[in-house]
């Protein structure tokens, strides 16, 4: 096959086909490889590994993507980009080619979340037509086997500081005679879960620190000044309870984020970074025991102080006010 002045090949992955797809593909000159592990991601990874050229351009074999439009992908790769995303939303979508819920809700929402968490800067995270260098694929180190591979490819490219761009494409109606394997809620949830799990710092650690810090500051202010009257509005003991709950929730979020970060690092989903290195150093038994002991001492001092005030008040209503 000759496109944009380059020699190429067509690789088709057989992932449990029961029709004549393999026979037809081979009769037309395509190279067919087989993947026994079921799943969108498993099939694509098999095709990527089987490809022999430096440039790889992928697309679903359901007539929705036009393989004659590979020129812009090759041009961008020639310009030095590592990953070239197709964008249906910036291109042309044939009527009834994409359900309205996918076009106006699912894809934009997932794309916004991915960009916010991982800084990819793309417009269509679910587009199935994309091109990349085989050397870039090795740096992506793809692991997933399901539909979430579409998100994994973008996230890992962003984390590896690969050069990402996108080109508008034409998107047509699915040409298959049977219903697609895609399940909107199930596969959308897998995408979302993967995006969140790969960003524990932004999802858990930073928000946890903010919540805990606000709760701690509020608690200290109330301990020092007691009830604070602001016209018809005042804050005192009830606010203290909420502030303490904020501290507890915030600390738990931070710990969830820390252990999530260590989990994805140990599973090989992210490379070691300065942040992960620091987490590995502090996530040791002796550090946890020491930190817990310090927190326990502070809590005991606070409990002793409050208990003393309560006993001094005759075990009545406790309302600490220092004015």
Q: What secondary structure does DSSP assign to 23-63, as a single string? A: HHHHHTTPEEEE--S-SHHHHHHHHHHH--SSEEEE--SSS
Alpha helices in the chain (DSSP H): 21-27, 40-50, 71-78, 100-101, 107-118, 134-140, 149-159, 184-197, 200, 206-225, 237-266, 274-282, 285-312
Residues 97, 237, single domain; the answer is: no
Residues 58, 193, single domain; the answer is: yes
Find tokens 């979020």 and name the residue.
Answer: 253
Cβ count near 44 (within 10 Å): 23
Residues 134, 31, single domain; the answer is: yes
pLDDT value of residue 280 = 62
What are the residues whose beta carbons fall under 8 Å from the beta carbon of 17, sequence distance 6 or more? none
pTM for the model: 0.74
Does any domain span residue 312? no
pLDDT value of residue 176 = 64
Residues 114, 226, single domain; the answer is: no
Residues 161, 237, single domain; the answer is: no
Does any domain span residue 167? yes
**Can you give the CATH number for the domain in which 102 is found?**
3.90.550.10
Q: How many residues does the chain have?
A: 323
CA distance 317 to 294: 30
Domain that holds residue 185: 2-197
pLDDT value of residue 268 = 64
* Cα 163 → chain centroid: 18
- Residue by residue, pLDDT tens for the chain (323 residues) are 555 567 789 999 998 888 888 999 999 889 999 999 988 999 999 999 999 999 999 998 888 999 888 999 999 999 999 999 999 999 999 998 888 988 999 899 999 999 999 989 999 999 999 999 999 998 898 988 888 899 999 999 998 899 999 999 999 987 666 655 566 677 778 888 888 888 888 899 899 999 999 999 988 888 777 777 777 777 777 788 888 899 999 989 988 888 887 777 766 666 555 455 666 666 666 777 787 788 889 888 878 887 887 787 777 666 554 44
Residues 158, 42, single domain; the answer is: yes
CA distance 54 to 71: 15
Please count the structural domains in the chain.
2
Residues 79, 141, single domain; the answer is: yes
């Amino acid at each position: 096959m000759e496109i944009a002045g380059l020699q190429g090949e067509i690789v088709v992955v057989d992932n449990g086909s029961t029709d004549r797809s393999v026979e037809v593909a081979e009769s037309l000159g395509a190279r067919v490889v087989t993947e026994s592990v079921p799943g969108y991601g498993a099939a694509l990874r098999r095709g990527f590994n089987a490809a022999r050229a430096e440039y790889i351009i992928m697309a679903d074999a359901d007539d929705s993507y036009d393989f004659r439009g590979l020129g812009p992908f090759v041009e961008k790769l020639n310009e030095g980009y590592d990953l070239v995303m197709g964008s249906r939303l910036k291109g042309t979508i044939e009527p009834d080619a994409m359900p309205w819920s996918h076009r106006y809700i699912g894809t934009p929402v997932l794309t916004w979340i991915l960009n916010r968490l991982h800084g990819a800067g793309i417009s269509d995270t679910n587009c199935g037509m994309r091109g990349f260098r085989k050397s870039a694929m090795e740096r992506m180190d793809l692991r997933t086997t399901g539909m979430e591979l579409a998100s994994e490819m973008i996230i890992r490219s962003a984390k590896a500081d690969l050069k990402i761009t996108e080109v508008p494409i034409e998107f047509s109606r699915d040409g298959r005679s049977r219903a697609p394997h895609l399940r909107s809620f199930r596969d959308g949830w897998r995408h979302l879960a993967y995006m969140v799990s790969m960003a524990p710092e932004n999802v858990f650690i930073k928000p946890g620190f903010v919540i805990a810090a606000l709760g701690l500051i509020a608690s200290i202010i109330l301990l020092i000044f007691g009830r604070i009257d602001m016209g018809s509005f005042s804050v005192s003991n009830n606010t203290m309870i909420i502030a303490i709950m904020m501290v507890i929730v915030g600390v738990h979020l931070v710990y969830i984020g820390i252990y999530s970060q260590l989990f994805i690092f140990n599973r090989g989903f992210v490379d070691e970074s300065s942040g992960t290195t620091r987490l590995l150093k502090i996530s040791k038994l002796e550090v946890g025991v020491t930190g817990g002991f310090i927190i326990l001492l502070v809590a005991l001092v606070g409990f002793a102080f409050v208990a003393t005030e309560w006993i001094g008040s005759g075990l009545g209503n406790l309302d600490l006010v220092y004015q």
